[in-house]
Amino acid sequence: MTATGSPGQTPAEAVEIRLADGEAVTVGGSFDEIEKRLSDAARSGPSRLAWLQRVGDGATVAVNPAHVVALLPGGT
């Protein structure tokens, strides 16, 4: 990803992903980049995950695109 940043730093761009269970995770990257990664994973098969970098601690997170209900630009 182009805008992931280091742990403890805020990336230049961030997107909040809201999941069906009510949980939200903010990841680094542009809105278009995150949407593309989720779309690519969804088209690749039902068990395919989108691998992203969480804002704040820099942890790698895997998101099942079937559980995403909303994307919010800017991590609002």
For 4-67, list the strands marked E by DSSP: 14-19, 24-28, 50-53, 60-63
Distance CA 14, CA 25 (A): 10
pLDDT tens digits along 19-34: 999 999 999 999 999 9
Domains and CATH numbers, the chain: 14-73 (2.30.30)
**What global pTM score does this model have?**
0.79
For the chain, list the strands marked E by DSSP: 14-19, 24-28, 50-53, 60-63, 68-73
* Per-residue model confidence (pLDDT) at position 70: 97
pLDDT tens digits along 41-72: 999 988 899 999 999 999 999 999 999 999 99
* Per-residue model confidence (pLDDT) at position 6: 43
Q: Is the pLDDT of residue 7 over 60?
A: no
For residue 65, report the phi and psi dihedrals to the nearest 5 degrees.
-60, -25
Distance CA 47, CA 57 (A): 26
